[in-house]
Amino acid sequence: MLTVEKIGGTSMSKFDDVLNNVIKGSRKPEELYNRIFVVSAYNNVTNWLLEHKKTGEPGVYVQFLENADYSIGLDSLCQRLLHINDGFKDLGLDITEAKEFITYRVEQAKTMLYSLSKVMASGYVNPEDICLAAREILASIGEAHSAWNTVNILHNNGISSRYIDLCGFNDSLPLTIDERIHRAFKDIDFSKQLCVATGYTKGVEGIMRAFDRGYTEVTFSKIAVEVKADEAIIHKEYHLSSADPNIVGVDKVVPVGYTNFVVADQLADIGMEAIHPKAAKPLELANINIRIKNTFEPEHPGTLITKEYISSIPKVEIVSGTNKVLAVEIHDPMMVGEVGFDLRIMQIFAKYGVSYILKSTNANSITMVIWDNYKSRELISNLEGNFYQVLVLRVAIVSVMGTNIAVPGFLYKASKALYERNINIESFGQSLRQVNMQFVIKREYYNEAVIALNDALCLC
């Protein structure tokens, strides 16, 4: 059985657990192979390289954009990476060789960025393209660092392994992402070598242009499809659970166990990605199941995501959501019966590259829930200049999901649970497929709503 397995950044930073639980486990030496590992950068490294994913704190990429001294930023980053290396010495990492590798890779990046800055300053090229190229170069450093270290540690632990560098730093071949992956894995005997691939893949189309910070999962997905894997496994620092244990408590959640790709898409839509939707779709089409496992509970089977699964009994599988959204309501007395009114709204959304999570309408109002970020602020400014009245509220959205909830009772139980906590439903959404009920509430009630819905629906 050939598996392709992705290891997240938080897990990679605890590599002793990865080595003992995921790579070795209770396997016999001959059972270590027929696996390909796709690794993320160590925890926070991509944040240092680009910008912090949640707080927006600037990294080296922002220094490049602002024409600051990114060279000093890269030197500081390199010292941080060397410090990370020191933590793996006892696991078998050759500190001297590891230093030579990452120091050289950072120097290569400096040279490339310097050339890009000169080209951009010439005024003959589109600055946006240059900036995207710089972002790609910087992002790749993190995955090259962790993948190279992993192979070095495995070699020094007597495990035959192979470093698959998809970053393309040492070639100028105009390959697509798929072509690079195909060339890298051609003619490898997976039964004799454990392959470790960088989560970043260089391609002429630019993997970050289409997927941005979801690129590691896209590489993982494309590799699984290329080698015709029997299963794609994602190792995380937690189980895919019925709710966020940090909100409801670890004793109040259970691993989901089984779900399907439709529910996984609903999770991705609210930012709680079991897997990036653009990574999940190729696996779904190739009939490759996804398994989400907890790095720190290796014997637990985790959660299996398949195309066909529907729970044999009606039940809620997951309560999740986010408190980082805005409700934007467009009201116009002239909207009633006007064909194509919402098309005008959607054209502005498309202009700013904004998609909505929920949409609810009545005779003269349309409410949409969108992410609260810099794009939304620009969008709202345009909407206010084009429509009669625009109301914006800082809200949260809580979703109740399951493969078999299209039966009477679940909506009643959910709304009753919120009512009993004195939480008003500001807006609501559910499609005919009925795999997801979405409740828009005031932002300050988010945690309480998740607890209420989990207690009422997942623990019953």
Cβ–Cβ under 8 Å, residues 291 and 236 = no
Kindly state the tokens that stand for 93: 């990492």
Query: Cα–Cα distance between 78 and 99 in angstroms, integer?
Result: 9
Instruction: Report whether pLDDT(203) > 80.
Output: yes
User: Which amino acid, 154?
Assistant: L
Which residues form the domain of 145? 3-237
pLDDT tens-place string over residues 209-226: 878 888 999 999 999 999
CATH number at residue 414: 3.30.2130.10
Instruction: State the Cα–Cα distance between residues 304 and 451, nearest whole angstrom.
Output: 25
User: What does pTM read for this prediction?
Assistant: 0.88
Read off the pLDDT of residues 122-160 as tens digits, 9 standing for 90 and up.
888 888 889 999 999 999 999 999 999 999 999 999 999
Query: Total structural domains in the chain?
Result: 2
* Judgement on whether residues 335 and 443 belong to the same structural domain of the protein: yes
- Pair (218, 324) in one structural domain: no
Dump pLDDT digits (tens) for 20-72: 999 998 889 888 999 999 999 999 999 999 988 777 788 999 999 888 889 99
Q: Are residues 225 and 325 in the same domain?
A: no
pLDDT band, residue 273 (cuts 50/70/90): low
| Domain CATH number, residue 121 | 3.40.1160.10
Same domain, 200 and 344: no
Say whether both 356 and 230 belong to one domain: no
| Within-domain flag for 242 | no
Long-range contacts for 370-375 (Cβ within 8 Å, ≥24 apart)? 370/325, 370/326, 370/328, 371/271, 371/324, 371/325, 371/326, 372/324, 372/325, 372/326
Smallest Cα–Cα separation from 69: which of 57, 81, 60, 78?
60
Q: What DSSP character marks residue 249? A: -
Alpha-carbon distance of 223 to 273, in angstroms, equals 19
Whether 353 is in a domain gets the answer yes
d(Cα 423, Cα 446) in Å, to the nearest integer? 9
Q: Are 236 and 292 in contact (CB under 8 A)?
A: yes
Residue type, 27: R
Q: What size, in residues, is the chain?
A: 460
What totals of helices (H) and strands (E) does the chain contain, helices first? 17, 14
Domain endpoint, select from 237, 263, 289: 237
- Alpha carbon 212 to its chain's center: 9
In a domain? residue 306 = no
Would you call 174 helix, strand, or coil by DSSP? coil
d(CA 389, CA 333): 10
Q: Are residues 366 and 233 in the same domain?
A: no
Return the pLDDT at 350. 94
Same domain as 420, residue 328: yes
Contact between 173 and 245 (Cβ < 8 Å): no
**Given 237, 253, 274, which residue is the final one in a domain?**
237
The pLDDT tens digits of the residues spanning 75-111 come to: 999 999 999 999 999 999 999 999 999 999 999 999 9
Question: 349 lies in a domain?
Answer: yes
Domain boundary among 191, 208, 237: 237
Contact 384, 415 (CB under 8 A): no
Assess whether 170 and 32 both reside in one domain.
yes
Distance, CA of 412 to CA of 395 (rounded, Å): 22
d(CA 327, CA 358): 9
Which residue is it, tokens 């509970």?
297
Beta bridge partners of 39: 7, 198
